[in-house]
Amino acid sequence: MSIANDISQLHAGMRQWRQHLHQFPETAFEEMETAKFIADKLMSFGLEVHQGLGKTGVVATLSAGNSNKKIALRADMDALFIKEQNTFVYKSSHHGKMHACGHDGHSAMLLGAAKYLSDNRNFKGTVYFIFQPAEEGRAGARQMIDDGLFKQFPADCVFGMHNFPDIPPGHFAVKSGAMMASFDCFEITITGQATHAAMPHLGNDAIVAAAQLINSLQTIVSRMIDPADPAVVSITQIHAGNTWNAIPESVLLRGTFRCFNNVVQKTIADKITQLANAVCEGFGVNATILFNPENAGYPVTFNSETETALARKAAIAVAGDACVNQQPAPSMGSEDFAFMLQEKPGCYIWIGNGSSENNCLLHNPHYDFNDDILPVGAAYWVKLVETVLSE
Ligand SMILES: [Zn+2]
Ligand SMILES: [Zn+2]
């Protein structure tokens, strides 16, 4: 492990910031106090700070030398609607909300890097520090982009980092291509004609149509997508009927699909629409299909070659060759950093959080970011900036 002395000296500060953020979690687009805390810190480090993109987003700018190169580093600030089960002193003070995905740690590591880079300025070019809202299901990254993020802060490339509990503490995992899956939800309302259960021929049975449709949807992955392209389609809700002896007028189906290829993502959506319409037509019932009615669909998180090579170089410089997994299996989870990677080449890396006392995964009510890795993550950001903006 190679971490500059000055970064190690920031460890206590970063731990304090991280635990403060953990204690006062805020959810999507309501990160007012979080944004203020972060902006105040950045200003105290001497950075130029902009607020308000994506409602609560914070962007800080730091330049050194006279190069035109520009790199963007991104952390997320939002918490989840989960009731914390931890009992330590800095446990959530906001009922029903908690940092169960480690975004408190992401913000603290990027703050640490900003402090170090501002003090040392061992690079030539401009660094944009992006603190985004609403990563969890509400596409805060896309909101910042729609509000002009990359027009106001025209980065050449953008980098993200997420803690991962399955990876040993302070290790990294990164590869080019797909790191995380796309994410979409869908809702199908099947409307038939209600009738007495003893006289089905006098109505149009939406339940039987729904049963056929559920089975048909399972053929999308097995029959219509290249077996070499991983994908999953799951029906997660069925709502219909309220008594024993009547066939209801309608059935509501809900589900989700995920894959690692944006073309496959579109194919799955098209096939859901086609099958729902065709199956329902065959049964004389009607289908209404909505995609992502309550959430934002996320594209595939796709790392570009060149930027992944730079990220790998920085990770190896910090953690050593043996502690950087260069061929991790991609995760079926999803990440709205994918929107930034659609705009700019870049790379999303995982940093190991190690296994916790309860061995819990992200989004678990016992989750806690591992403060021991704060200097490792900050050192990665610093090394990345010094590598990308080296001349
Ligand atoms: Zn999460
Ligand atoms: Zn997360």
pLDDT tens, residue by residue, 190-202 = 999 999 999 999 9
**pLDDT at res. 379:** 98
Residue 140: per-residue pLDDT: 97
CB 71 within 8 A of CB 314: no
Residue 102 C-alpha to ligand 2 middle, in angstroms? 6
Starting from the CA of residue 136, give the closest ligand: 1
Q: How far is the CA of 305 from the centre of ligand 1 (A)?
A: 25
Is the pTM for the entire model greater than 0.85? yes
| Structure confidence by residue, pLDDT tens digits, 196-252 | 999 999 999 999 999 999 999 999 999 999 999 999 999 999 999 999 999 999 999
In terms of Cα–Cα distance, which of 350, 343, 351, 342 is closest to 182?
A: 342
Query: Cα(68) to centroid of ligand 1, in Å?
Result: 34
Rounded mean pLDDT, 279-300: 96
Q: For 335-362, what is each residue's pLDDT tens digit?
A: 999 999 999 999 999 999 998 666 789 9
Dist CA 195 CA 189 (whole Å): 18
Q: Which ligand sits nearest to residue 102's alpha carbon?
A: 2
Q: What is the Å distance from ligand 2's center to 235 Cα?
A: 24
Tell me the residue type at 101.
C
Is 123:64 a contact under the CB 8 Å cutoff?
yes
388 C-alpha to center of ligand 2: Å? 25
pLDDT tier at 4 (50, 70, 90 boundaries)? confident
Ligand that lies nearest to the alpha carbon of residue 106, given by its number in the listed order: 2
Q: Which domains does the chain have, with CATH numbers?
A: 5-180+299-388 (3.40.630.10), 184-291 (3.30.70.360)
Distance 162 CA to ligand 1 centre (A): 9
98 CA distance to ligand 1 middle (Å): 11
